[in-house]
Structure 1
Amino acid sequence: MATINQAAVKEDLYDAVNGDWLKTAEIPDDHASTGGFMDLVDTIEKTLMHDFDAMAAGDVAIDNPQLAEFIKFYRLTKDFKQRDAAEAQPLQSCLKQIDSLSDLADLQTRMPDWIYDGLPLPFSLDVDADMKNTKVNTLFAQAPNTILPDKTYYDEGNQAGPKLLAVYAKMMTELFQKAGYDDADAQQTVDDALKFDRLIVPWVKSSEEAADYSKMYNPRDFKQFTNDSRYLDLAAITYAVIDGDPTTVILPEPAYFDHFNEVVNPDNFTIMKNWMKTKLVQRLSAYLSDDMRTLATTYSRTLSGQKQPRSRAKSAYYLAANTFDQVVGLYYGHKYFGEAAKADVHHMVEKMIDVYKRRLEANDWLSAATREKAVTKLNHLGIQVGYPDQLEPVYKQFKTHTAEEGGSVLSNVLNFGRIARKDMFAKWNQPTDRTRWEMSADTVNAYYHPFMNIIVFPAAILQAPFYSLKQSSSANYGGIGAVIAHEISHAFDNNGALFDEFGNLNNWWTEADSAHFKELAKSMITEFDGIDFAGAKVNGTLTVSENIADAGGLSCAEEAAKGESDVDLHAFFTNWAMIWRMKATKQYMQLLLSIDVHAPAKLRANVQPQNLDDFYSTFAIQPGDAMYLAPEKRVKIW
C-alpha cells in the first residue's frame, strides 16, 4: 500500500490518501460517480457481460436451466432491431386497460389482476415479516411514491423542485407523444399526473422520517383498514390476492390511509387515471425501443448529473441481469468466489463477532441486564457470506418466451413480475425464511436485516480494496473488517437496538440504558449535523444510524487489527480512507444529502477516525491540526 504524507493526514485524511487519484479520476459519461465501490461494479459488469455475451452467441455451453432462461431473455434485451421496430406497441395493451376505465367501481373489479401485474395504483399491498412476530409473514399496505425524490423537494423555497418537475413533465409529454398521443392529450395527461402527485405529498413521510424504523410499525385492524376507503372495497381487493382472512395490516405510512378518501375519490378519478398512465409509461419505457429507453432516463440523469444514458449493450445487460438477479448472482458467486473463500470470510465474520462480544462484555455504561441481552442478540446473529446455498424456487417458474414464440422484452417482464408477486402473496401467514437473500451475490454492498437479525456479505464486495490475501491484515481490517463490524453494529444502532435476537420489535433495554443510549445517539447527530458539503448541509438525523454503525465498525475493526502480530495502524486507517474514495457530480451529491441515510463518503472517511484515540498517536495529530478533535467531543458508543 502506498505511503502517505503524515503532514497531509493532519489536514485531511481522505485527501491525503485519495488526493492524487482525485486529480486524475474522471466520471464516465454514463455514471454519476466513480471510485472504490463503483470501480468494483464496473469490473464485475465487464466480466459478466463478457461471459454472458459468449453464452448468448452460443460459444459457451450452458448446463443450468435457470441460467439458460436468463440467456434467452438476455438475447431478447440485446435485440434492439426488434425492439426499435416494435416502438411503443408492446405498451399499448397496458395503456388501453387504464384508458378504458370508466369509474372507481370499474377499477375495483380489475384491481386484483392489476396488483398481480404490478400496474401503478394509488396504494399497494405486499407481504413481509411481522415486525413483532418475525417468524410469520404478514400483510402490509403502502402509499405510492411521489414523483420528486423526497417530499422536502415540494417545500416552498426549494428551488430544485420546480426545475425537476419541469424536466419530468417535458420528458413524460414526449414519451406519450412517442406512444401515439397527440400533443394536447399528452400535455393534459402529464398535467393531471402532477396534480394527483401533489395530493399524495402531504400524507407521506420524508426520508428523515422514514429512517426511523420503529415508526414503520403501525398495525391497523383489518376491518378498520377496509373502512379507510369510502369508494373502493379494500377487503374484496385484499381477499382476491390473499388466501385467507387477515385480521391486521401494517401501515408504514398511516397518515396516507387516514386521508385516503381525500386522494382517491370520484372527483379525482380522471387525474388519478392519468397519473396511473404516466407512472406506467415512465416505468415501462425502459423495455421498449432505444429512443424511448434513452428519453425515459432524462429525469433521473438530471437528478444525478449523469451526462449520458447507458449504452445499448450495458442497458440490455442490466435489464436482463436485474430481472434474473439471483440467478446471475449464483453464477458469479460459484465461478468467481467459491466455497473456499466463502468459508474463509465466514470465519473472519465469526472472529469479528467475538471481538464485538468482548467489547460488549467490557462495556462500562450498559447495565448487566442489558449487556446480557446484547450478547444474546449477538449469539443469535445469522451470517450469510458470498452467495445463497440454493436458488429461490420462484426462479424455476421463469420461462422466457422468445420473439419466435410471440414474446417481447416487456411481455416477459410483466409475466415474470406476475409470477414473483403471486409467489410473494402466497407467503402470507406462512413462516418467514431467514436464509433468503435480498441482495444478489454480484452486488457490491452488504447489509444487516433487523427483522431477521442477520448480516449478509455478497461475494462482490469481498475483494480488494476491501479484502485481499495480498493486503496486510491491518489493511484488510480497515477495509472488509470495518464493513463486517459496521453491519454487526447495525444490530445496535438507533434502529437495530429496537429489535431483539429474533428480529422482533421488542424493547430489551432498561429505561436508564435506553436514555443514555439516546443521548449518545444525539451526540452522533450533532457531530455530523450541518456540516457543509457540495453546496448543501448534512442531515445528522437522517444519517445517524449509518454513522453509529460506522463508528462501531471502525472501532471494533481497529481492536481486531491490534490483536494481530503484524498490526500496522497506518495501513489500517489508509485503507479505511481508500475504500471511501469517490468522485461524483454535484447534483448526485446533493441528491444523496436529501435522501441517503449514509453520510457523504469523504465525511465517513474523515470523521470516524477523529473519534478514535489511536488515530492521533498514529499520525502525531495535535491541537491546532485540522483533523484534531478535542477528547470531550469524540463520540464513542460501541
Structure 2
Amino acid sequence: MKPTLISALILGALATIGQASAATPAKADVAKAAKAGSASGIDVQYVDRAVRVQDDFFVHMNGKWLKDTAIPADKSSWGSFQKLDDDTQPQLRAIIEKSASGTPAAGTDAQRIGDFYASFMDEKKVDALGLAPLSGELAGIAALKDKAAIPALLAHLGQLGVGVPYDFGIHQDAKDSTKYVADIGQGGLGLPDRDYYLKGDDAKLADALAKYRVHVEKMLALAGDKNAAANAKKIVDFETEIAKLQWTKVENRDPVKTYNKVELAKMAELAPGYDWAGYLAAAGISQKAGYVIVSQPSYLKGFAALSAATPLDTWQAYLQFHTIGAYANYLAKPFVDERFAFYGTVLSGVTEMRPRWKRAVTTVEASLGESLGKLYVEEHFPAERKARMEVLVKNLLAAYKSSIDKLDWMSPATKKEAQAKLAKFTPKIGYPNRWKDYSALVVTRDDLVGNVMRSRTLESKRELNKLGKPIDREEWGMTPQTVNAYYNPEMNEIVFPASILQPPFFDAGADDAVNYGAIGAVIGHEISHGFDDQGAQYDGDGNLRDWWTAADHKNFDVKTKMLVKQYSGYSPLPGYPVNGELTLGENIADNSGLAIAYKAYKISLNGKKAPVIDGLTGDQRFFMGFGQVWRMKMREAQQIVQVKTDPHAPGQFRANGTLMNQPGFYDAFKVKPGDKMYLAPKERVIIW
C-alpha cells in the first residue's frame, strides 16, 4: 500500500561580509563572534572569509564546514537535517534497549518495542534462517498456474510492502474532504525514476541500469534461481516497458489531472482485459467504497495491455525478485550485503553500511513509530519548547494574514478566499494528542521477517478501515522523532514534529532573530505550501476547488514561471540541472516562507530596534540562521537521484536562490549590482 502524499520540508556568514558600509560588522567583532556558545546562535566557526557574502552566501556561511567535513561513510549526504537525525538515534536506542532489557508484560508497548529490536539484533538467528522466512510467499508465486491469480496476488503483496506495478493509498477525497477514498497509482520500478530506464544517452543512468540488471541476477541467484541471468533480463525488460507507460514526476504534481474518479464497476472500462474486480475484492476496497481515484488513467490502461502480453514466467520472476528485495534487509547477510551494494553504493555512493543497531532502530521506528515516539517525547521534549513554538506559529500566521492584505497582484475577491483558508489552518506541534494503538500487533523475539510482515499488514488494515468512517483529524503523518515537517492540503494542517525543534532549527538559548530565520522559515515554508502552485488549488476545507479569479491565475502564473526559469538555471553537477517545474512547489514555499518569517520577526520586535549581538545586526542574524539550516553536502550518485526524483532543490540553491529574491537580504548585507548574489528588482520573485 502506497503512503499518502504530503508536502514535506525535506521524501539539505560572517567574517568579511563585504566592504560595503558601517552596518557591516568589523573584523574584530567577527573574531569575537567566533567564540563557541555565541548568544547569536550562529555557527560562525564555519564561515569562509575568502568568499564574500554578496557573492555566495551559502559558501561564505558554510565554507569551512564544506571543506573540513567529510560525509560519513554510511551516509549518502550530510548536513543539518542528517546530523540532527543521527544525534537522535542514540536517544532512541537507549529507550529501545531499556525496553529490550527487561521482562515487560506481554502485549505492552515495551514488550513489542523490545522484542522487535531484539529480533533484528539477533544476527546469528537471522543468518541461520537464510531465505526460509520468505519461503511461503515465494512458493505461492512459483505455484501460479495462470495469470488469472495475479490481480489478487498483487493486492496481497502490496499489503506486505512489496513494490508492485500499481498500488493504492487511503486519504481524503480531494473533492470531498469529508470522505476517505482509495487512490490507485503507478509503481513497480526497482530504480528511482523512469529516466533510469529510458535515458539511454545519459552515461551515468545507463550505467546504473546495467548494474541494476547485475544486481537482479545476483539476488535471484542467492535465492537459488538456476536461470538467474535470463530472468534478470526479463525483469529489467518488463520494468522498462512499465517505465514507458508511467507519467513523469512533473505530470504527477498536477492535483487536477491526477484526480480521476472512477466507479468500481467501471474500472474494467477504463483499463480493459484485467480483473479489476478480483483485485479490488482482494485488496478489501470493493466492500468499503463505491469508487476509487485513479491517478494515471493512461498508465493503468497501458498496464492492463502489458500484463496480458507478459508471459507468466516473467511475472513470476518479477514478483519473486521484488518480494525478496522488499525483505532483503531482514534476511541473512548475503541478501543484506547485495541489496546494500546496489542501493547503497551504486545508486547513492555510500561505502559503508550503517551499524546494525541503527538499522534496528530504523526498523522499530517504521513498525512502532508512535509507541517509540511517546517514550521519546517524555524524555526529550520539554513542554516549554512546545509553548515557545506555539507563539512562533501564531506570529507567522499573523504575518501571513497581513501579507495577503498587502499583495499588489491579487484581487480583493481572491484575497478574501485566501484569508478564509488561512483562518482554517490547523497547527500541530511536537506530538499527537492521541497515540496510535498497536495492541493488535504480535511481535516475537525470534521472527524478524514475521514481525515486519505483521506490522505492514496491520498498517494496511488500519488504512483500509478508514473507508466509510469519519475523518480522523487527530492523526499524524510523521512520528515525533522525525526531523522534518509537513503540510497536508486535504487536512489544511501544518505539522512540526518534536525532533526538528532543536538547533540549528530552534535554539532555546539564542535570540529571536536566528530562530525566526531558522524554524520561523520552516513554519513559513509549511504555511506557504497551502498557497503554492499545488496547495493553492485546495480551499480551507481541503477540497480541490478553484477559488481564484482568472486575472489572479494569470498574475500567479507569471510569477511561478519566473521561479521555474530561475531554478532551472541552477545545476549541482554538470549535465544535471535542477528541474524548475518539479521543484516549483518547494521553491515557492522556501521563498514565501522566508519572506513571511522575516515579516514575523519584524512584528516580534514591537517597533523596537533589534540588539546587535556579537557584532551582528538582527537582520543579519535572521538570514544567517536561515543559511546555516541548509548546510549540506551530497555524494554525486545521490545528487543525481535527487535531481531526478526529489521535489526539493539541492541545499545550496534553497539557500542562495531563496535569499536572492528577498529585499531584506539586500539591505542587511548591502548587496549591490555587480555582486554575484544580486538580482535586479524586476527579476526577484516575490509571491506571498
TM-score bucket (shorter structure): over 0.9
Equivalent residue runs for 1:432-511 within 5 Å: 432-511=471-550
> Are the structure 2 counterparts of residues 590 and 126 from structure 1 closer, same or farther at C-alpha, using a change threshold of 3 Å?
closer
Structure-2 residue corresponding to 1:603: 653
Specify which of 569, 593, 596 is matched with residue 553 of structure 1: 593
Query: Structure 2: how far apart are the matches of 1:349 and 1:150?
Result: 36
Query: Structure 1: how far apart are the matches of 2:175 and 2:291?
Result: 12
Query: Structure 1: how far apart are the matches of 2:641 and 2:139?
Result: 35
* TM-score of the aligned structures, taking structure 2 as reference length: 0.88
**Structure 1 stretches of at least 4 aligned residues deviating more than 3 Å after TM superposition:** 60-64, 106-122, 227-232
Q: Structure 1 residue 579 and structure 2 residue 629: aligned? A: yes
The more displaced of 2-11 and 289-298 is 2-11
> Are the structure 2 counterparts of residues 123 and 268 from structure 1 closer, same or farther at C-alpha, using a change threshold of 3 Å?
farther
> Are the structure 2 counterparts of residues 560 and 119 from structure 1 closer, same or farther at C-alpha, using a change threshold of 3 Å?
closer
CA contact (8 A) 1:104 1:232 kept: no
SS in 2 for 1:539: coil
Question: How big is the shift at 1:430?
Answer: 2.1
Query: Structure 2: how far apart are the matches of 1:88 and 1:575?
Result: 50
Question: How big is the shift at 1:61?
Answer: 7.4
Query: Structure 2: how far apart are the matches of 1:173 and 1:362?
Result: 61
Structure-2 residue corresponding to 1:237: 279
Query: Structure 2: how far apart are the matches of 1:464 and 1:328?
Result: 22
Question: How big is the shift at 1:36?
Answer: 0.8
Q: Structure 1 residue 593 and structure 2 residue 643: aligned? A: yes
Tell me the alpha carbon deviations over residues 400-444 of structure 1, each in whole angstroms, 9 at most, x when there is no partner.
0232xxxx1111111121222122112113222222111111111
SS in 1 for 2:78: strand
Two-structure CA RMSD over aligned residues (Å): 2.0
Query: Structure 2: how far apart are the matches of 1:609 and 1:111?
Result: 47
Consecutive unaligned residues of structure 2, counting only runs of 5 or more, are: 1-12, 19-51, 611-617
Query: Structure 1: how far apart are the matches of 2:662 and 2:379?
Result: 39
Letter in structure 2 aligned against 1:502:
D
Equivalent residue runs for 1:1-40 within 5 Å: 3-7=14-18, 8-40=52-84
Structure-2 residue corresponding to 1:174: 218
SS in 2 for 1:139: strand
Question: How big is the shift at 1:232?
Answer: 3.6
Letter in structure 1 aligned against 2:278:
A
Letter in structure 2 aligned against 1:5:
T
> Are the structure 2 counterparts of residues 108 and 370 from structure 1 closer, same or farther at C-alpha, using a change threshold of 3 Å?
closer
> Are the structure 2 counterparts of residues 589 and 110 from structure 1 closer, same or farther at C-alpha, using a change threshold of 3 Å?
closer
SS in 2 for 1:533: coil
CA contact (8 A) 2:386 2:430 kept: yes
CA contact (8 A) 2:565 2:580 kept: yes
Question: How big is the shift at 1:617?
Answer: 1.9
Tell me the alpha carbon deviations over residues 146-197 of structure 1, each in whole angstroms, 9 at most, x when there is no partner.
2221122222312223211222222222222222223xx2222222211211
SS in 1 for 2:54: helix
SS in 1 for 2:72: coil
Query: Structure 1: how far apart are the matches of 2:199 and 2:210?
Result: 16
Specify which of 121, 134, 141 is matched with residue 177 of structure 2: 134
> Are the structure 2 counterparts of residues 120 and 595 from structure 1 closer, same or farther at C-alpha, using a change threshold of 3 Å?
closer
The more displaced of 432-441 and 475-484 is 432-441
Tell me the alpha carbon deviations over residues 300-321 of structure 1, each in whole angstroms, 9 at most, x when there is no partner.
2211111122122222221222
Question: How big is the shift at 1:229?
Answer: 4.9
Tell me the alpha carbon deviations over residues 374-413 of structure 1, each in whole angstroms, 9 at most, x when there is no partner.
01101100111001112123x221120232xxxx111111
Equivalent residue runs for 1:232-631 within 5 Å: 232-240=274-282, 241-242=284-285, 244=287, 246-265=289-308, 267-301=310-344, 302-393=346-437, 395-403=438-446, 408-535=447-574, 536-563=576-603, 564=605, 565=608, 567=610, 568-631=618-681
Query: Structure 1: how far apart are the matches of 2:64 and 2:166?
Result: 49
Query: Structure 2: how far apart are the matches of 1:511 and 1:226?
Result: 37
CA contact (8 A) 1:12 1:627 kept: yes
Query: Structure 2: how far apart are the matches of 1:474 and 1:197?
Result: 50
Specify which of 128, 143, 148 is matched with residue 191 of structure 2: 148
Q: Structure 1 residue 187 and structure 2 residue 229: aligned? A: yes
The more displaced of 240-249 and 157-166 is 240-249
Structure-2 residue corresponding to 1:160: 204
Give the number of aligned pairs.
629
CA contact (8 A) 2:570 2:653 kept: no
CA contact (8 A) 1:35 1:583 kept: yes
Question: How big is the shift at 1:119?
Answer: 4.6
Structure-1 residue corresponding to 2:147: 104
Question: How big is the shift at 1:271?
Answer: 1.3
Letter in structure 2 aligned against 1:510:
T
> Are the structure 2 counterparts of residues 508 and 138 from structure 1 closer, same or farther at C-alpha, using a change threshold of 3 Å?
same
The more displaced of 42-51 and 448-457 is 42-51
CA contact (8 A) 1:192 1:272 kept: no
Q: Structure 1 residue 212 and structure 2 residue 254: aligned? A: yes
Question: How big is the shift at 1:90?
Answer: 1.0
> Are the structure 2 counterparts of residues 554 and 157 from structure 1 closer, same or farther at C-alpha, using a change threshold of 3 Å?
same
Question: How big is the shift at 1:66?
Answer: 1.9
CA contact (8 A) 1:214 1:495 kept: no
Query: Structure 1: how far apart are the matches of 2:210 and 2:671?
Result: 50
SS in 2 for 1:492: coil
SS in 2 for 1:542: coil
Question: How big is the shift at 1:106?
Answer: 3.3
Query: Structure 2: how far apart are the matches of 1:442 and 1:553?
Result: 23
SS in 1 for 2:439: helix
Letter in structure 1 aligned against 2:493:
I
CA contact (8 A) 2:194 2:243 kept: yes
Letter in structure 2 aligned against 1:523:
M
SS in 1 for 2:633: strand
Instruction: Please state which structure has a larger fraction of its residues in helix.
Output: 1
* TM-score of the aligned structures, taking structure 1 as reference length: 0.94
Query: Structure 2: how far apart are the matches of 1:10 and 1:4?
Result: 12
